[in-house]
Structure formats: C-alpha cells, structure tokens
C-alpha cells in the first residue's frame, strides 16, 4: 500500500543532512508550537526532537488566525555550521529566516524579509551568494542574516503550465542549478517537475521526463504526490521526501489524516532524477504511544491552535497530570484550551483518564473550529457532541459516576472501499455511546491544509488528565 515516513498531518516536508544525520521539518499552519523538527539516521524512522517556532515572538499568530492560515511550507538547510529555516507566516509578517546551532533549538528570533510569496527556499552558490526562491517561481539574491533582498526577485521557470507552480527548491549539483517545483495544486492533480540552468537566473531547461512524480488519474492508494525535497545520502544515493494523501472508503474517497510525508528513491539518469515508488512497504509499523505527563515539560508533539497561554495549562499543579484551565472560549471558536496530537493512523484507539472535577472537559477529534467530534464530561453526564459546518448537536448522553473516568475514541477506516470511516466513543471501557461517520472530519468536507488532531480540552473550569495513550489497531494494512 505504501507507508508514510511521517503519518498524519505532516505536509510540505523539507530535509537536510549533516554527516550521518538527517533533519526534516514540515508545515504547521495555525498550530503552536510551529514547524516540527524530526531526526533520522535512515530516512525511514523519524523522531521529533523539537519545534523550530516555540515562542510567540517567533510565531505571532493573531487570535483570529483562520484555520489553515499561519505557517506554510518551511525549507531547512545546513550551511556554514548552522541550521537555517526559511518559512512564511501567512497570517502576519510574511517570510522570515531563523537559525540554530542545534536542530532541536533554541532557534533565533526571526529575520523578516521583504520577499512576497509562499514556499520560500534557501540555497548557496559556490561563491557564497545566497539565493531565495518563492512560489511562482521567482528567485532573489538575498542577505539571509540581515533578511534583505539584494537583487531581484527575478522570474524563473514556472513549470510545464499546470496551475500553482510552487514549492521551489534550488540545488547546486555537478555545475548545474537544479530547480525542483510542485505543480497542479496540492490535490489529486499534484505533480513534481524540474528544470536546470547554469546560473540561478537561467535560462532554464526543463527535464525531458516531467513530471518527475505524479499519481494523478491512477488507482494508487497513495495520492496527491507533490511538494518534494531532495537529499543525498552519505554513500551517494539520492532520496526524495514529498507529501501525499491516503484517501479511503467508497468513491469519491476521503482523506482524514491530512497530507502526510513519504519517501522515494531517486536515481540520476543522463543528468536528471528518476523517482521510484512513493511510500515504503517496509517502513516502520504504526507504534503505540503513551504520555503519563510525568516530565517537566510537554513533549514536542503536543500542539494547540494559535497559542497556548502559560496560565491555561500546567504539569506541576497536580504532579503527573496535565491540568487545563478554561479560557472562556469553546471548541467552536478560536481561543479554546486544547492540547492535542496529530491522528497518525487510520485505525487507532486514543484514550485518556480525565478527572473532570466540576469542569466541562473531554477528548476531541478536531479538524478545525467547524469540524470536530467531542466526548466530554460535565456535571455527571458524558456526552458526544458533533460539530459539522453550521450544525452542532448532542448525539448521545450517558450518566457517569463522579471522579476520574476513562474516555476513548476509536477510529476505523474502510480499507476495502465499501463503506464509511467510523469514529466510536466510549466511557470507562464500556460499549460505544455512539458511532459517527468520520468522513465529516476529512479534508474533502472541511477543506484546508491540515488534518485531524485528537486532543484534551476544557471549556469551563479546571480539569486534569492523568495520561494519554495511542494504540494503533491491527487492522491497519501496510
């Protein structure tokens, strides 16, 4: 079937290598902290080691930042003994560069740069000149430290004529400047294409084999392949990371995990890359995860929409628990206290032990403010609430005893293509209160660039959570 290297909402991957170590970043949109950083030794197994943007001074997201606004496609490079990330805050400030000595951080404050456009790239010439490319495609010579455009931007190769030429990356290889882009838009028509020139200013010669990658109009289980970056392994082999989706269920299929990161082998033939199968059947199998909230800080996987005010959460108020304080907002509006992790597997069970006290709190499967299913406890009653577009409804209710209670959501996708995607909700390990069709929490319904996040929330009062556990279910095919 083709396994992702980073399942769940991890789009727009960019990768670099330092010695034997690979580092990868991807887009984070309206979530804080932003731009997750991963480490790998083999390009297949990745571990998140931090977030590039972990302070509000680096990630000023207005409270009304739209879902799928915020941080678009970053590029990570290692140059001159430092790591460099260039990305765009589409909700304020535009494009900026941050640097770090170590990829886990701390990363610098932003150097904002007046270079309109998304999907910025950074590349250095043999003479030390630094070039930035943006979607469109336009290329400028820049001073990456001062955040200044020195020359340009100049128009560059903008693809074979498909819509949305974007995601440019420049590489200096064997005396050429190669320009890799995505075309066709991030949906089913997505492609990867390439051109080369002797200077960053052209003239550009398109690859004879364009598109280098596309799954459009095929029945492959991995779709929307595009937005790629290349990396050379120490032994001289080349690899591509790129985004793709895994639509499932009855036609037209839906994808519920957002755009995920995949790997493909690259071989150079007559000066151009040829790209192998996207997605490794031998990749790491889905792994269980558990957080007992016993550490001093939240693990880097925990994300919150827009901002996570210091007074909204605590790991010390009740040691060994995550305590959340309501802010006055709800999951239907920006500003709610919500701490979650990306849903990474089609078939998974996510559980938590909630001590609700007198609060209204629970476990939510969230795509955005207008698309979420919530299993919550309030005043001795557990209920399932469905918010789908303009509609909000309590779907099931059940009385529960006072004190800590286990909440579970189970997701189940129909891999045979006959039926819907299901989400079941249980309290205290009992039978499901109800099952809801998960296709309403898909990108095809909600639109946007993110994917599902399953998280802990409170809308009234103060509640604490003892642990959070993810168990991928065995039905997940490779």
Q: Which residues are catalytic?
A: 12, 166
Closest-CA residue to 13 (of 340, 314, 278): 278
Q: Which is nearer to ligand 6LW, 243 or 409 (CB)?
A: 243
Q: Are 71 and 11 in contact (CB under 8 A)?
A: no
CB of 324 to ligand 6LW, least distance (A): 29
**CA-wise closest residue to 301 among 286, 291, 310:** 291
Nearer to ligand 6LW, 89 or 459 (CB): 89
Give yes or no for a contact between 27 and 74, defined as CB atoms under 8 angstroms apart. yes
| Least distance from ligand 6LW to the Cβ atom of residue 73, Å | 4
Nearer of residues 117 and 286 to ligand 6LW, judged by Cβ: 117
- Range 82-86, long-range pairs (CB < 8 A, 24+ positions): 83/16, 83/23, 84/122, 84/144, 85/25, 85/35, 85/52, 86/113, 86/120, 86/121, 86/122, 86/132, 86/144
Q: For residue 423, what are its two tokens?
A: 């989400």
The least distance separating ligand 6LW from the CB of residue 451, rounded to whole angstroms, comes to: 11
Within 13 Å of residue 282, how many CA atoms lie on the same side as its CB?
4
Pairing state between β 453-460 and 434-437: unpaired
Closest by CA to 245, choosing from 294, 207, 314, 189, is 189
Q: Decide if 177 contacts 195 (C-beta within 8 A).
A: no
Count CA atoms within 13 Å of residue 396 on its CB side: 16
State the minimum distance, in angstroms, from the CB of residue 107 to ligand 6LW: 20
Element (H, E) at 114: none
In contact, 421 and 413? CB cutoff 8 Å: yes
Cβ neighbour number for residue 72 with a 10 Å cutoff: 24
User: Which positions lie near ligand 6LW, rule CB under 6 A?
Assistant: 11-12, 27, 72-73, 118-119, 166-167, 182, 186, 226-227, 243, 449
* Phi, psi (deg, nearest 5) at residue 439: -65, -20
Residue nearest to ligand 6LW (CB): 186
Element (H, E) at 372: strand 371-378
CB of 242 to ligand 6LW, least distance (A): 9
Q: Which of 145, 28, 36, 148 is nearest to 88 (CA)?
A: 28
- Tokens linked to 476: 């997940």
Q: Least distance from C-beta 11 to ligand 6LW, angstroms?
A: 5
What does the alpha-carbon distance between residue 448 and residue 465 come to, in Å, rounded to a whole number? 30
β-pair partners for 422: 412, 437
Residue nearer to ligand 6LW on the CB measure, 165 or 362: 165
Distance CA 474, CA 176 (A): 47
Contact between 418 and 407 under an 8 Å Cβ cutoff? The reply is no
With contact defined as beta carbons under 8 Å apart, do 72 and 63 qualify?
no
Query: Closer to ligand 6LW at the Cβ: 169 or 426?
Result: 169
| β-sheet with 111-112: strand ranges across | 71-79, 82-89, 94-100, 111-112
Q: Which of 99, 343, 120 is nearest to 229 (CA)?
A: 120
Please report the sign of the dihedral spanned by the C-alpha atoms of residue 220, residue 222, residue 225, residue 229: negative
d(CA 369, CA 363): 15
Nearer to ligand 6LW, 73 or 257 (CB): 73
Q: Of 167 and 331, which CB lies nearer to ligand 6LW in the complex structure? A: 167
Q: Which is nearer to ligand 6LW, 6 or 243 (CB)?
A: 243
Q: What are phi and psi of 438, to 5 degrees?
A: -75, -10
CB of 190 to ligand 6LW, least distance (A): 7
Output the smallest distance, CB 10 to ligand 6LW, in A: 11
CB of 88 to ligand 6LW, least distance (A): 8
- Given the structure tokens 């030390």, which residue do they identify? 128
Q: Is 153 or 472 the residue whose CB approaches ligand 6LW more closely?
A: 153
């Amino acid at each position: 079937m083709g396994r992702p290297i980073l399942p769940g909402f991890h789009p727009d991957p960019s990768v670099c290598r330092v010695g034997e170590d690979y580092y990868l970043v991807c887009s984070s949109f309206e979530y804080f902290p932003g731009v997750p950083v991963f480490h790998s030794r083999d390009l297949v197994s990745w571990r998140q080691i931090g977030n590039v943007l972990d302070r509000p001074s680096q990630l000023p997201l207005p409270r009304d930042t739209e879902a799928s606004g915020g941080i678009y496609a970053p590029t990570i490079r290692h140059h001159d003994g430092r790591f460099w990330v260039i990305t765009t805050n589409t909700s304020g400030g535009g494009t900026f560069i941050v640097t770090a000595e170590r990829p886990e951080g701390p990363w610098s404050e932003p150097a904002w740069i007046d270079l309109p456009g998304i999907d910025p790239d950074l590349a250095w010439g043999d003479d030390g000149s630094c070039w930035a490319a943006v979607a469109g495609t336009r290329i400028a010579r820049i001073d990456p430290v001062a955040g200044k455009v020195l020359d340009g931007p100049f128009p560059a190769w903008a693809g074979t004529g498909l819509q949305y030429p974007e995601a440019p990356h420049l590489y200096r290889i064997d005396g050429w400047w190669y320009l890799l882009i995505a075309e066709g838009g991030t949906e089913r028509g997505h492609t990867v294409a390439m051109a080369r020139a002797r200077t960053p200013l052209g003239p550009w010669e398109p690859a004879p084999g364009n598109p280098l990658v596309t799954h459009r109009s095929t029945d492959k289980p991995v779709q929307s392949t595009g937005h790629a970056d290349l990396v050379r392994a120490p032994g001289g082999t080349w690899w591509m990371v790129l985004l793709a989706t895994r639509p499932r269920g009855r036609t037209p299929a839906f994808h519920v995990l957002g755009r995920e990161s995949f790997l493909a082998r690259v071989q150079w033939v007559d000066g151009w890359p040829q790209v192998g199968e996207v997605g490794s059947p031998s990749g790491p199998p889905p792994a269980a995860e558990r957080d007992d909230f016993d550490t001093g800080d939240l693990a880097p996987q925990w994300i919150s929409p827009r901002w996570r005010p210091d007074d909204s959460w605590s790991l010390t108020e009740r040691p060994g628990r995550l305590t959340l304080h309501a802010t006055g907002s709800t999951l239907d509006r920006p500003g709610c206290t919500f701490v979650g992790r990306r849903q990474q597997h089609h078939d998974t069970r996510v559980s938590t032990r909630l001590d609700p006290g007198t609060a209204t709190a629970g476990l939510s499967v969230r795509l955005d403010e207008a698309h979420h299913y919530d299993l919550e406890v309030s005043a001795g009653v557990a209920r399932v609430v469905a918010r789908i577009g303009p509609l909000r409804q309590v779907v099931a209710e059940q009385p529960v005893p006072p004190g800590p209670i286990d909440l579970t959501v189970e997701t189940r996708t129909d891999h045979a293509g006959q039926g819907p995607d299901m989400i079941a909700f249980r309290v205290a390990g009992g039978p499901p209160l109800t099952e809801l069709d998960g296709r309403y929490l898909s990108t095809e319904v909600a639109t946007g660039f993110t994917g599902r996040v399953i998280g802990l929330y409170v809308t009234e009062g103060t509640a604490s959570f003892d642990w959070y556990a993810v168990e991928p279910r065995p039905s997940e095919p490779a």
